[in-house]
């Protein structure tokens, strides 16, 4: 059983930065990070769920072109937390952001566990 809870979403101006957190509600997060790829997705109203990156069990990261160079994913094992650092935010980044644990990749169906999401709104 893996429980994920995102936080940090808020209203920001275009060009600003924001860091999202995803806390893994389990005693030993090392076990989670060594077992699952941790991914970030986002979904805006009326749009499909969109992959924004993952970090795998070997700490390798993957990002789509839409966020590459602006977003980065990191881990803090001692805090049982995965982060999504978002810089140079654009209005198109507005969405509910979800963290997930699973096999990894850009296809959401390969993830087994999901957090409830946190809203990010970027104003012009």
Residues 36, 57 contacting (CB under 8 angstroms): yes
Say whether pLDDT at 73 is over 60: yes
Say whether pLDDT at 28 is over 70: no
pLDDT category, 80, cuts 50, 70, 90?
Answer: confident
Q: Which token pair is 80?
A: 């049982």
Torsional sign, CA 86, 92, 98, 102? negative
> What CA–CA distance (Å, rounded) separates 44 from 39?
17
> What CA–CA distance (Å, rounded) separates 3 from 10?
22
Average pLDDT (25-35) is 72
Contact residues for 113 (Cβ-Cβ < 8 A; gap 6+):
2, 3, 4, 36, 100, 101, 102
Per-residue pLDDT, 4 = 95
pLDDT category, 27, cuts 50, 70, 90?
Answer: low
pLDDT category, 78, cuts 50, 70, 90?
Answer: confident
């Amino acid at each position: 059983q893996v429980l994920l809870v995102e936080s940090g979403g808020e209203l920001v101006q275009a060009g600003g930065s924001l860091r999202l957190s995803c806390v893994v509600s389990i005693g030993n997060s090392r076990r989670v990070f060594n077992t699952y790829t941790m991914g970030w997705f986002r979904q805006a109203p009326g749009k499909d769920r969109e992959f924004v990156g993952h970090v795998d069990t070997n700490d390798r990261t993957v990002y789509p072109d839409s966020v590459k160079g602006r977003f980065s994913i990191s881990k803090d094992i001692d805090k049982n937390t995965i982060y999504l650092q978002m810089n140079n935010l654009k209005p198109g980044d507005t969405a509910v952001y979800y963290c997930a644990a699973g096999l990894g990749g850009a296809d959401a169906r390969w993830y087994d566990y999901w957090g409830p999401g946190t809203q990010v709104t970027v104003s012009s």
